[in-house]
Structure 1
Amino acid sequence: MSEVEQHTVPMDAPRLDQYLVGLLTGQSRNRVQRLIADGHVRVNDATARAGLRLRKGDRLSWELPPTAPTRLQPEAMDLRVLYEDDDLVVIDKPAGLVVHPGPGHATGTLVHGLLARAAGWSTIGGAERPGIVHRLDRDTSGLIVVARNDETHRALTRQLQQRVMTRRYRAIVVGEVADPAARIEAPIGRDVKHRQRMMVVAGGREAITEFVRLGVAGGHSLLQVSLTTGRTHQIRVHLAYIKHPVLGDPIYGRRSPLIARPALHAEALSLRHPRTGKLMTWRAAPPEDFELAWNSLSARTIR
């Protein structure tokens, strides 16, 4: 167990977990929430809830327990690796592959494949998420970066928080989008009636999505989408919010005979390499099911 650290809050803050994420560099919000839930964080010498509103003068104390070694079993997978070195790996994830273990997905995840590829991944995300810096939904295809060590993980997390790391997506949406480009600023929170869903809600976490319309065909639109923030289901929620849900999205839109999943692909990823400082960019073309869906609506080939 690490030493107990202490801090006095200089001004009011809306939530304990959000405040600690800013205070504990390199720790994800999920990790901070687990620390709070497990009693490793105290406010004025008492355990607290993640949503506790902080007041000026509140005394925080916390300790970081050592990460338990993973008990996950390696599973050999044919992963499409675009880049790999001693610090990070960039993978073009296929649709249908879950990133890390969770309810209903105890095996067969990207994490299991990483463990089979090599030992020694970052531990900051916890025993069930070695190497995982950010995630993609199961049915979203495309680029994801994973960290081989804790130093790299912390650096990449900072880049996400400071918006140095950029992610660009391609999406087919229902309806003809009128604006050639737009910015969506709408806070996102958990749907109180359906806990597996997210929704635009007052008081939710800041969420910003930008898009450029690339084409219109057959009552649908092809968009290039960029994330400024990275909330759960953000692109799907925001596009549904403006009445243009992602094609084939069974949660925020409806299923489609054109594609058996949400038509969403992470096509580009840019970051500064934590060791060299070099700006690096990777691109991955949409997979066949995505191209077939769009080509069925238009004679054009996606470029």
Structure 2
Amino acid sequence: MQERFLQVPPGLDGTRADAGLAKLLGLSRTAVVTMLDDGGAQQDGATLGKSDRLRADAWLDLRWQPREAPRIVATPVPDLGIVHDDADIVVVDKPAGVAAHPSGGWQGPTVVGALAAAGFQIATSGAAERQGVVHRLDAGTSGLMVVAKSERAYSDLKAAFHDREVEKVYHAAVQGHPDPLSGTIDAPIGRHPGSEWKFAVVSSGKHAITHYETLEAFRGGSLLEVHLETGRTHQIRVHMAARRHPCIGDTMYGADPTVAARLGLERQWLHAKRLGFRHPGSGEQVVFESPYPADLARALEILRED
């Protein structure tokens, strides 16, 4: 059992308990919510709930059970495509249903586990469960990911993603027809106030910018090309849902389940189509592209036939 007794710093005054304690203790949001749900946090003697607010200079009495970090389990993923492989990087075409790396709430296959099973040696930089991972895709999103194999590649690519020097292009089929047909969504994204697993456009969120262009319009939706300027969790899904054009099949963010069923979709229609960056070894600009997987291609054909 871990125990801490400390004061709330002025910078966290008024912050929600779950967000503030995660920042104060360096723990994941999930770990902090578990501690709060177990009654392990008191502020000046009163038990804190996750939506309660921290008060500057109040005394916190905290007790929690540390969790073991998720382990990388070498598990083969037969349909994980290897698009490019060299001494510095490996670029994969990730199928849906595979997470980027292990996490507390995920029991399925992962990219790092699949690479380990295939004998790839990746960089040791980063947290133990996400070594070599410089960016992520949602488990339900297919497409291109680059993983660092050398320590130099890890440092260079992390900096490139942070400095917005990486070209990240997605294709998304959404419900309805965005107006205007091309545009930019500039809206901050943070944790959904009513759900531990969802995100939303909230004033206290992190800066997020999404550029989109309509490629095709159908009776039942639109195919968009999306360029990400920032890389927030669920960014495209949240921004399009906020415009009332959720990704088709994305029932978590309000998509019509009957449309998904008609198209045979069991996840959101969202694919990481193109990835471009400066190669950490050669210094040359490299660009990789991925075709639509079978489920998305089939759904798109049905939309076109309509």
Same-fold status (TM-score > 0.5): yes
CA 1:230–1:118: 2 relative to 1, 3 Å: same
Is residue 288 of structure 2 the alignment partner of residue 282 of structure 1?
Answer: yes
CA shift, 1:243, in A, is 1.0
Cα drift, residue 75 of structure 1 = 2.2
- Quickly say closer, same or farther: Cα 1:34–1:100, change in 2 above 3 A: farther
Q: Secondary structure at the match of 1:103?
A: coil
Equivalent residue number for residue 84 of structure 2:
83
Which amino acid letter does the alignment assign opposite residue 210 of structure 2? T
Query: Which residues of structure 1 form unaligned runs of 5+?
Result: 1-13, 16-31, 39-51, 53-68
Which residue of the partner structure matches residue 181 of structure 2?
A: 180
Please give the alpha-carbon distance, in whole angstroms, between the structure 1 residues aligned to 2:154 and 2:209. Answer: 24
5 Å-filtered alignment, 1:171-210, equals 171-210=172-211
Relative to its length, the structure with more helix (as a share) is 2
CA contact (8 A) 2:71 2:102 kept: no
* Structure 1 residues 292 and 70: CA distance shift in structure 2, 3 A: closer
Which residue in 1 is equivalent to 2:299?
A: 293
With over 3 angstroms needed to count, the CA separation of the structure-2 counterparts of 1:185 and 1:128, relative to structure 1, is: same
CA shift for structure 1 position 130: 1.9
* Equivalent position of 1:74 in the other structure: 74
Cα pair distance change 1:215/1:70, threshold 3 Å: closer
Residues 213-261 of structure 1: per-residue CA shift (max 9 Å, x gap): 0011123011000100000000000001111110000211233211111
CA deviations 1:176-234 (Å, max 9, x no partner) are 22323100000001012111110001121000000010011123011000100000000
Matched, 1:162 2:168: no
The 3 A distance-change label for structure 1 pair 221 and 276 is same
The residue correspondences of 1:1-303 to structure 2 (distance < 5 A) are 36-37=26-27, 72-78=72-78, 79-106=80-107, 108-118=109-119, 120-254=121-255, 255=257, 256-257=260-261, 258=263, 259-299=265-305
CA contact (8 A) 2:70 2:103 kept: no
What TM-score do you get using the length of structure 2 for normalisation? 0.74
1:122 aligned counterpart, secondary structure? coil
Please report how far the alpha carbon of residue 116 of structure 1 lies from its aligned counterpart in structure 2 after TM superposition: 1.7
Match of 1:22 in 2: none
User: For residue 275 of structure 1, what is the amino acid of its counterpart?
Assistant: G
Instruction: For residues 76-123 of structure 1, give each alpha carbon's deviation from its aligned partner in whole angstroms, at most 9, with x where no partner exists.
Output: 332210100011000000111121111243452211111122353222
Q: Tell me the SS of whatever aligns to 2:268.
A: coil
Judge conservation of contact 2:91–2:145 (CA < 8 Å) in 1.
yes
Q: Secondary structure at the match of 1:251?
A: helix
- Tell me if structure 2 keeps the 8 A contact 1:210–1:225: yes
Residue type of the alignment partner of 2:206: R
Give the TM-score normalised by structure 1: 0.74
Distance 2:224 2:301 in 1: 14
In structure 2, give the amino acid aligned to 1:153: Y
- Shift of the 276–33 alpha-carbon distance from structure 1 to 2, 3 Å rule, reads farther
- Distance in 2 (CA, whole Å) between partners of 1:265 and 1:87 is 25
Residue 74 of structure 2 aligns to a residue whose secondary structure is coil
Contact between 2:70 and 2:104, CA under 8 Å: does it hold in 1? no
Q: 5+ residue gaps in structure 2?
A: 1-10, 13-21, 29-53, 55-68
CA distance in 2, matches of 1:76, 1:260: 22
- Residues 101 and 71 from structure 1, CA distance in 2 versus in 1: closer, same or farther, beyond 3 angstroms? closer
| CA spacing shift, 1:83–1:220, aligned 2, 3 Å | same
Structure 2: distance between partners of 1:245 and 1:75: 32
Change in 2 beyond 3 A, CA 1:108/1:208: same
Query: How far, CA to CA, are the matches of 1:152 and 1:209 in structure 2?
Result: 26
Contact residue 200 and residue 241 of structure 1 kept, 8 A: yes
Judged with a 3 Å threshold, the aligned counterparts in structure 2 of structure 1 residues 166 and 34 are, in CA distance, closer, same or farther, namely: farther
Cα offset, 1:34, TM superposition: 10
TM-superposed CA distance for 1:136, in Å, is 0.4
Question: Cα deviations across residues 12-59 of structure 1 (Å, max 9, x unaligned)?
Answer: xx89xxxxxxxxxxxxxxxx9698449xxxxxxxxxxxxx9xxxxxxx
For the 8 Å contact 1:191–1:199, the answer to whether it is kept is yes
Kindly provide the amino acid, as one letter, of the partner of residue 284 in structure 1.
S
SS in 2 for 1:238: helix
Q: In the TM superposition, what is the alpha-carbon distance from 1:70 to its structure 2 partner?
A: 9.1
Q: Percentage identity across aligned positions?
A: 39
Q: How many residues of Structure 1 are paired with residues of Structure 2 in the alignment?
A: 243
Structure 2 letter corresponding to 1:179: P
